[in-house]
Amino acid sequence: MGRVRLYLEEPLGEGQSVSLTRDQAHYLFGVMRLGPEDGLRVFDGVSGEYAATVAEAGKKRGVLSVGARTAPLALPPDLWLLFAPIKKERTDFIVEKAAEMGARRILPVATEYTNTGRVNRERLRSHAVEAAEQCGGTFVPEVAALRSLDRVLADWPEDRRLMFCDEALAGEGAGPPDTPGPWAVLTGPEGGFSDTERARLGGLTYAHPVSLGPRILRADTAVVAALTLWQSRLGDWQ
């Protein structure tokens, strides 16, 4: 079956033939050097993972034959990551780690001290796809459009709790309460959270301020630490 895994946007089923895009053909046949009859695994993010074989291989095109399902869809816990975007490459890193570490949804949020005005959703989506292909996941988290933190909080789903990573708590405070259910994690930009934001978040019944240890972590490090803390306490790492 081979170790190569490919995410395909269309719904998959046994016996299907799938035509590849130019980029997919380049990846499989140019980069991974697969050829006719070679095996790989494909997944669609909704129905699971399947064995597949190369039926046709060309420079700019190709066709795969989809075989038996090899794994059911494994949804990650209902955990959203809200993060303030930072420099391009480090934002790419954040999305890649969030996909590997089991975020269900990824929401870039603009906070008062965020100095990145826009995010490239398509590029971030491709990082999430690559991370899922690499880590054996069968699900690809959505990367939402950049919105202000205020707007995201204004539309907040009432059953979802928020683990607010507050750098002002460095060295104090405990982790999230042991309360199962839908959650979100929030981390700030290099400049941290403003006092206004801190006061607003502190007043939300569903928000739980937490420390990520005694040292001030970089914004991207904080995302990894926060996801590790949540997953090991409330997620699917137990």
Residue nearest to ligand SAM (CB): 188
Smallest separation (angstroms) from ligand SAM to the CB of 202: 14
Please name the amino acid found at residue 85: P
Smallest separation (angstroms) from ligand SAM to the CB of 55: 48
Q: Which is nearer to ligand SAM, 34 or 81 (CB)?
A: 81
Q: Which residues bind ligand SAM (CB under 6 A)?
A: 165-167, 169-170, 187-188, 190-193, 211-213, 215-219, 222
Alpha-carbon distance values, 206 to 126, 172, 201 (Å): 32, 20, 9
Rounded to whole angstroms, the Cα distance separating 114 from 190 reads 8
Q: Which is nearer to ligand SAM, 73 or 217 (CB)?
A: 217
CB–CB of 113/167 below 8 Å?
no
Q: Which is nearer to ligand SAM, 129 or 226 (CB)?
A: 226
Q: Which is nearer to ligand SAM, 27 or 206 (CB)?
A: 206
The set of residues, in sequence order, having a beta carbon less than 8 Å from that of 122 and lying 6+ positions away, is none
Q: Which is nearer to ligand SAM, 34 or 110 (CB)?
A: 110
DSSP state of 27: I
Counting every residue, how long is the chain? 238
Smallest separation (angstroms) from ligand SAM to the CB of 189: 6
Q: Which two tokens stand for residue 176?
A: 């999230």
Smallest separation (angstroms) from ligand SAM to the CB of 174: 12
Q: Which is nearer to ligand SAM, 57 or 212 (CB)?
A: 212
Smallest separation (angstroms) from ligand SAM to the CB of 82: 10
Reading phi first (left if > 0) and then psi (alpha if -120 to 50, else beta), residue 15 is in left
Smallest separation (angstroms) from ligand SAM to the CB of 72: 35
* Orientation angle between helical segments 219-234 and 88-100, nearest 10 degrees: 10
Smallest separation (angstroms) from ligand SAM to the CB of 192: 3
The set of residues, in sequence order, having a beta carbon less than 8 Å from that of 187 and lying 6+ positions away, is 81, 82, 83, 84, 165, 219, 222, 223, 226
CB–CB of 219/115 below 8 Å?
no
Q: Which is nearer to ligand SAM, 63 or 204 (CB)?
A: 204
Residue 164 bridge partners (DSSP): 186, 209
